[in-house]
Homo-oligomer: A and B are copies of this chain.
């Protein structure tokens, strides 16, 4: 309403030109934020339009429909937390992974909760969710385990190896419902130290 409204917006880019990749990222970020806050069903195109200060027409011109927009948002913001990790030991890798997952838990957990049911009903959405959030993480974790086996830290056929990634992601998603709080770094670190490593036959670090 008042002229100061323009001032309180950062930079206030006048956007009447073609959609730049940066602008697309803004859309994607808004979509994911709203998913986290309200869930998939409650996400509305009108809500996205108003939050991003664009017209609905732009959204429909560009992405066609709500499911496609969500899929695009997942694909377009694929950012990976774990693959860079390589400390030289399996235990070190897993501790670092616990830290990284715990740090991103406030972002990823609500997103998973928001999308998990919708994903089980829409193959495209499931695929996008897996490719954006799940497969990169479990691939990284399995790479850690494989490197550990190659270095001889654990036997190649350690039976617990199959469950490392499922445990980490599972516990991350289970804790909010069990205890009412996110699985933060401290919790996940404790978990790795006291459950994952012992199951693999690795000693907990001497304190």
Contacts and interface: CB of A to CB of B under 8 A. Distances in A.
Copies in the complex: 2
Contacts of A134: 177-178
A165 interface: yes
Contact of A116 (B116, B130, B170, B172): B116
The A contact surface, by secondary structure, is helix
A105 interface: no
A140 interface: no
A177 B165 CA distance: 12
A85 interface: no
A117 B117 contact: yes
28 contacts: A39-B41, A39-B117, A39-B121, A40-B117, A110-B120, A112-B177, A113-B116, A113-B117, A117-B117, A134-B178, A138-B178, A159-B190, A159-B195, A160-B194, A160-B195, A160-B198, A163-B191, A165-B178, A166-B175, A167-B171, A169-B170, A169-B174, A170-B170, A170-B171, A170-B174, A170-B175, A194-B199, A196-B199
